[in-house]
A and B are shown apart, each in its own frame.
Chain A
Amino acid sequence: MNIERWLRVEELCHRALEIADGLRAEFVQRACGDDNELRREVESLLAQEEKAEHFIESPALEVVGRLVASETGITDGGTQLIGSTVSHYHVIEKLGGGGMGVVYKAEDSRLHRFVALKFLPDSFARDPQSLSRFQREAQSASALNHPNICTIYDVGEYQGRPFIAMELLEGSTLRSQISGGALPLEGMLDVAVQLTAGLGAAHQKGIIHRDIKPANIFVTQEGHAKILDFGIASKLRWNDPVGPTVTISLATFKEQLTNPGAVMGTLGYMSPEQAKGEKTDVRTDLFSLGAVLYEMATGTAPFNANTAALIYDSILHGHPPKPTALNRSLPPEIDRIISKALQKDPQLRYQTAGDLLSDLQRLERDMESSRTLQTDRLIRHPSRLSRILILGIFVTLLLSLSMIALLRYSNRSTAGTTKWEQLTFFPDSAVYPTLSPDGRVLSYIRGGGTFVGPGNLYVQSLPSGDPVQLTHDSLYKLRPAFSPDGARIVYSTIDPWNTWEVAVLGGESHLFLANSSSLSWIEGGKRLLFSEIKSGVHMAVVTTDESRGQGRDVYVPTGERSMVHHSYLSPDGRWVLAVVMGNNGNLLPCRVVSFDGGNEEQIVGPPDASCTAGAWSPDAKWIYLSSDKGGKSHIWRQRFPGGNPEQVTFGPTEENGIAIAQDGKSLLTSVGITDNTVWIHDSSGDHQLLSERNTCESTFSSDGQKLYYLMQIGQTPEWELWVTNLASGKRDRILPGYSIQPGFDNTDYSVSKDGKQVAFARKNSAGISHLWLGPTDHRFAPREIPSSENEDSPFFLPNGDLIFRAGEGNLNFVYRMQQDGTARSKVLAEPIFDLRSVSPDGRWVVAHANSPDAEHPYSVTAFSLDGRKPVQLCYTLCTGSWSTSGLFFYVQTLPSGDLNTYMLPIPRGRSLPSSAPGGLGRAEFLKSYQGNFAILQTVDSAISPSLYSYTKGSTRRNIYRIPLS
């Protein structure tokens, strides 16, 4: 490699490009002199000029999207198969396709019956080993003959592609039947009994399904439940934790492509033993069936979360609410049955399908006899469909009745009290509160983030109606708004930004207005106000009539990537309050513009704060905002015009979104609270360190007898350092009066090996971080170590010196110094991003830094302090640290997506675990490392694989009514 030559080539090319075509050749000739090689090089590059203009101008995502489109268009279209004969099956039509392959309807020309032909994904077919295993399993499964199992007739191969011929079923999967919510009890029990009987029959033949989930269960039009894919489902699953390696197959990609979230959906029915990669048996299927029963009974999957890690955690440790808590119409016996099926320990679960079946049948009989006593049974044996329909009508009726009833009483508001009144009670998140024009119905989006996130629209009548789900698509949504008559609700989805409409009483959503977002009716319902994409992502506020005629721009923000996400017209119709995202994608302070146009903006609310939502008081005198000033989003208000911003809500919660009651006496907002708790794992299991306060960032003393941690101070964003003696439970505040703010990328404190001193970082009033040193026993006050630079992430070296991260210009470096601040020196020549850990022997540090590897520009690297070669441990999405004892190194990494922390024993006499080409971050390496321990937590600090601490966090958001003075 010759850098000078490369630079010369580049320079000549750029100069040549500035010269007119005709003169270019001569210029190159002259500039290169007799260096022919240089000339050829420059000329060959210049020859690309024209082509290069369009080359890779279309982003990679588009390129791959086109490839997918072209391929899907061919293989999934299946046009070449239809009408042809596969073995002795005449292919008639395509029935569907998904992650597991494509299914066709065909006629068996020998037996003259219709069958379903399922072709497996190509990637699967290419692997001879898995193919032969599949064929073996399918053969044995074809021996199953039970009315509740979809029969496999035949296994074959056509032009190298394996296929299965199976019973052709007409109906739909349980997945699609329960996506609308819980099944009626009778139907649910009926399906449950059938499924259990089917499972029992397979188990008796020694065949385990291992992937029981609603998508693998079919309910025919006659009401027969059929378990699909026996003996093959688990072989096809994307991420078989039982297998030795994790390969994400084409099936995964296809499944994700055709149905993003499908993979997550699959995980939620997995048993704890599958999640841990342990041995499975028939009880595994019974656990998964329990999860399916739970969802049929409640409409909600018991183990549900956004990421695989959280789902695993929930399966291993979570306790879903009792089914009767979610669906009050259920008999209590259901709680007992489902809870027994969902026991984490297989020993405590139902041991056989027969046991479960007799419990279900007993319950079914009891329900039957109690029902016959009732006189209001409409139809004795309604078909499944009509049962669901009747229930639907009944629910709608109830809903409208209860709304009418509640509307009458809803004026009993809480005005006059100062207490916040909680209106929703979700364990997850409800955001964007909106009130109907008469203030009697509340709507909101459940799920997702505060500003935009995947979720569904809900309504509930005030003051205390039950939540009713109106959408079931979990698309990214924002800002619902009621129509002027209060009968319909519009809401927006993003990318594309469209506004949808749904009736308050339920039904399908319809596209209301394309390219529009955050839409509201103005001028008594005659006109609309909404955000519209002008080009790219440039989003402006416009007003039109209901048929999008007579439109005009109201507010077009400067900056071609800036977006006005929300707009609120003042009650007097003169002003528009706007929520604006700047050119860089950051939310700016809110602003007010004139409704009549003119781009003059008045900034309102706290300056330099991200404003997420706003509202006007009914008398148009006040503006209310939710704004994040100083790390937490709270409600602010400001008189308009001419007032100053004042904060309305304070405290540890965060408030987002505002709906003001018609009488102006209260507002509704989404109140979020985040809990962080330190947990300890020791020989007796896992326990919470403290339950009453938020705690995080725990670290063990070197003897493992004490645990240091940060604890939140009251209702502030400040945290203090505490220590708990693990044997006695006695706890002590180490640095009273010295708050520490937990950071993302820096270590905030560390304790010396002898346990006598603590080093920590604190920002001064100018925002510069300096190091402080204090005693752990209150003997004297902590002192600041003077410095002119930004310094943080302190660690003690064995001799008591400090090693830390220090800023220098635009870069960060690792420094060391004595405790009095003298003998400062840079210990590594390379700049780093952040300093992660220091080995207990003081010979290595782990830092996130640039990497020489082109494929991975950043890596987590162990740097030697005594001149050895750096060791790249793993790439961006991982980190590593030593156990306090120095005997283990723990790696927190992704790739398999199944476990969070691997603890690796360090060979005697070494400071680092044995490395491997490609780093420590690869799952195969970690799993095969001799003596490794896999821990399903993000470990904070560890003594050994049997004694470690970790922090668990969760956020809940619910809608509250806050009285206004």
Chain B
Amino acid sequence: MSVPSIHEVTQLLKAWTAGDHQALEKLTPLVYRQLHQVAQRYMAGERADHTLQTTALVNETYLRLVDCGKVNWQDRAHFFAISAQLMRRILIDFARSRGYQKRGAGMAHMSLDEAPSVCNQADPDLLPLDDALKALASFDERKSKVVELRFFGGLSVEETAEVLRISSDTVLRDWKFAKMWLLRELQTGIGREY
């Protein structure tokens, strides 16, 4: 038996918890809109205020849930977790569809001096990172979750702690170590076993 729609926002919440497809449809344009805004901002040559953008997305989405006034703690943590997971999926699919297989691969036809200055040298290649993250999840799921929530979900350390029900200190430790491990994997190639 499926759950009823008491309220339009409840439907959205239900979507995340119970599996209605409208949820992704509502979130995906939101992600694209954000992405569009971020891209526009870079094209306009503005400096980035990293934290504002992604957290604003989460906050805005969350606002729509809060609208119904019926969200409890667990729903909220669940929401953040799924939100980050969807962001990961949407962005990775997007990167794949655009042929961002490797840094610059999608821009192979242009010469170096044409290359725009917006690319940040510290940016990871998303697809290998996603693979490395999957590898990490196979033996340390929590660390992969920390990375998913922080990097894809844009959550703060405290929010990540809340979602995973661990302390902020643990999040920080996991985050630091996971980053070192991921970096090394990306440099030396996947395949290390424990």
Hey, which bits of chain A sit against chain B, CB under 8 A? 1-3, 5-6, 10, 13-14, 17, 44-49, 51-52, 54-74, 123, 248-250, 253, 256-258, 260-261, 264, 306-310, 449-453, 476, 494-495, 536-537, 561, 581, 584-587, 609-610, 628, 631, 633, 674, 676, 696-699, 710, 742-745, 747, 750, 810, 833-834, 836-837, 848, 854-858, 860, 874, 876-879, 881, 892-895, 897, 900, 938-941, 951, 953, 955
The B interface is mostly helix, strand or loop, or mixed, namely helix
Q: A343–B52 Cα gap in the complex (Å)?
A: 48
Q: A307–B76 Cα gap in the complex (Å)?
A: 23
Known contacts A48-B183, A495-B37, A854-B134; is A953 also within 8 Å of B43 by CB?
no
Task: Please determine whether B95 and A64 come into contact, CB atoms closer than 8 angstroms.
Answer: yes
Q: A608–B75 Cα gap in the complex (Å)?
A: 17
Other-chain contact of A848, B17, B41, B63 (Cβ < 8 Å):
B17
Task: Please determine whether A897 and B25 come into contact, CB atoms closer than 8 angstroms.
Answer: yes
Other-chain contact of B184, A45, A585, A834 (Cβ < 8 Å):
A45
Other-chain contact of A307, B6, B25, B94, B151 (Cβ < 8 Å):
B25
Known contacts A62-B54, A73-B43; is A452 also within 8 Å of B60 by CB?
yes
Please give, as numbers and ranges, the residues of chain A lying within 8 Å of B32 by CB-CB distance. Answer: 253, 256-257, 260
6 contacts between A and B (CB under 8 A): A49-B180, A56-B150, A61-B38, A64-B35, A67-B98, A877-B15
Task: Please determine whether A14 and B173 come into contact, CB atoms closer than 8 angstroms.
Answer: yes
Task: Please determine whether B7 and A74 come into contact, CB atoms closer than 8 angstroms.
Answer: no
Q: A724–B112 Cα gap in the complex (Å)?
A: 73
Q: A845–B86 Cα gap in the complex (Å)?
A: 26
Known contacts A52-B179, A67-B95, A810-B165; is A610 also within 8 Å of B69 by CB?
yes
Task: Please determine whether B54 and A59 come into contact, CB atoms closer than 8 angstroms.
Answer: yes
Task: Please determine whether A857 and B85 come into contact, CB atoms closer than 8 angstroms.
Answer: yes
Task: Please determine whether B98 and A71 come into contact, CB atoms closer than 8 angstroms.
Answer: yes
Decide yes or no whether B147 CB sits under 8 A from chain A: yes
CB distance from A239 to the nearest CB of B (A): 11
Q: Which 7 A-B pairs have the closest CB atoms?
A: A894-B21, A65-B38, A696-B4, A854-B137, A628-B69, A69-B42, A953-B5
Please give, as numbers and ranges, the residues of chain A lying within 8 Å of B9 by CB-CB distance. Answer: 449
Decide yes or no whether B124 CB sits under 8 A from chain A: yes
Task: Please determine whether B53 and A938 come into contact, CB atoms closer than 8 angstroms.
Answer: no
Known contacts A60-B87, A60-B91, A451-B63; is A6 also within 8 Å of B106 by CB?
no
The A interface is mostly helix, strand or loop, or mixed, namely mixed
CB distance from B183 to the nearest CB of A (A): 4
In this complex, what residue of B is CB-closest to A744? B14
Q: A63–B98 Cα gap in the complex (Å)?
A: 14
Task: Please determine whether A747 and B1 come into contact, CB atoms closer than 8 angstroms.
Answer: yes
Q: How many residues in B have their beta carbons less than 8 Å from beta carbons of A?
A: 117
In this complex, what residue of B is CB-closest to A6? B194
Q: A837–B18 Cα gap in the complex (Å)?
A: 12
Other-chain contact of A74, B23, B88, B110, B165 (Cβ < 8 Å):
B110
Task: Please determine whether B119 and A67 come into contact, CB atoms closer than 8 angstroms.
Answer: yes
Known contacts A61-B34, A586-B71, A742-B4; is A70 also within 8 Å of B115 by CB?
yes
CB distance from B88 to the nearest CB of A (A): 7
Please give, as numbers and ranges, the residues of chain A lying within 8 Å of B11 by CB-CB distance. Answer: 953
Task: Please determine whether A743 and B21 come into contact, CB atoms closer than 8 angstroms.
Answer: no
* Interface contacts beyond A64-B35, A64-B126, A745-B14: sample of 12 additional A-B pairs, CB < 8 Å, sorted by A: A3-B194, A14-B177, A52-B183, A64-B91, A66-B123, A70-B119, A74-B110, A253-B32, A452-B60, A495-B60, A897-B24, A938-B20
CB distance from B56 to the nearest CB of A (A): 5
Q: A250–B82 Cα gap in the complex (Å)?
A: 25
Residue of A62, A836, A897 with highest tally of chain B CB at under 10 A:
A62
Hey, which bits of chain B sit against chain A, CB under 8 A? 1-11, 13-26, 28-29, 31-43, 48-60, 62-64, 66-67, 69-71, 75-76, 78, 81-82, 85, 87-88, 91, 94-95, 97-98, 100, 106-107, 110, 114-116, 118-120, 122-124, 126, 129, 133-134, 137-141, 144-145, 147, 150-152, 154, 156, 165, 173, 176-177, 179-184, 188, 193-194
CB distance from B77 to the nearest CB of A (A): 10
Task: Please determine whether A260 and B36 come into contact, CB atoms closer than 8 angstroms.
Answer: yes
Q: A5–B183 Cα gap in the complex (Å)?
A: 19
Task: Please determine whether B21 and A953 come into contact, CB atoms closer than 8 angstroms.
Answer: no
Please give, as numbers and ranges, the residues of chain A lying within 8 Å of B1 by CB-CB distance. Answer: 697-699, 747, 750, 837, 881, 940-941
Please give, as numbers and ranges, the residues of chain B lying within 8 Å of A51 by CB-CB distance. Answer: 183
Q: A1–B85 Cα gap in the complex (Å)?
A: 25
Task: Please determine whether B193 and A1 come into contact, CB atoms closer than 8 angstroms.
Answer: yes
Task: Please determine whether A64 and B182 come into contact, CB atoms closer than 8 angstroms.
Answer: no
Please give, as numbers and ranges, the residues of chain A lying within 8 Å of B154 by CB-CB distance. Answer: 59-61
CB distance from B43 to the nearest CB of A (A): 5
In this complex, what residue of B is CB-closest to A876? B82
Please give, as numbers and ranges, the residues of chain B lying within 8 Å of A64 by CB-CB distance. Answer: 35, 38, 91, 94-95, 126
Task: Please determine whether A585 and B59 come into contact, CB atoms closer than 8 angstroms.
Answer: yes
CB distance from A565 to the nearest CB of B (A): 9
Please give, as numbers and ranges, the residues of chain B lying within 8 Å of A17 by CB-CB distance. Answer: 176
Please give, as numbers and ranges, the residues of chain A lying within 8 Å of B19 by CB-CB distance. Answer: 848, 860, 874, 876-879, 892-894
Q: A64–B82 Cα gap in the complex (Å)?
A: 20
Task: Please determine whether B126 and A63 come into contact, CB atoms closer than 8 angstroms.
Answer: yes
Please give, as numbers and ranges, the residues of chain A lying within 8 Å of B69 by CB-CB distance. Answer: 587, 609-610, 628, 631, 633
Q: A938–B23 Cα gap in the complex (Å)?
A: 13
In this complex, what residue of B is CB-closest to A674? B7
Residue of A2, A250, A586, A628 with highest tally of chain B CB at under 10 A:
A586
Task: Please determine whether A877 and B20 come into contact, CB atoms closer than 8 angstroms.
Answer: yes
Other-chain contact of B50, A58, A69, A857 (Cβ < 8 Å):
A58
Q: A633–B21 Cα gap in the complex (Å)?
A: 27
In this complex, what residue of B is CB-closest to A123? B97
Task: Please determine whether B34 and A10 come into contact, CB atoms closer than 8 angstroms.
Answer: no
Q: A253–B35 Cα gap in the complex (Å)?
A: 11
Known contacts A62-B50, A837-B1, A951-B4; is A257 also within 8 Å of B36 by CB?
yes
CB distance from B102 to the nearest CB of A (A): 12
Task: Please determine whether A260 and B21 come into contact, CB atoms closer than 8 angstroms.
Answer: no
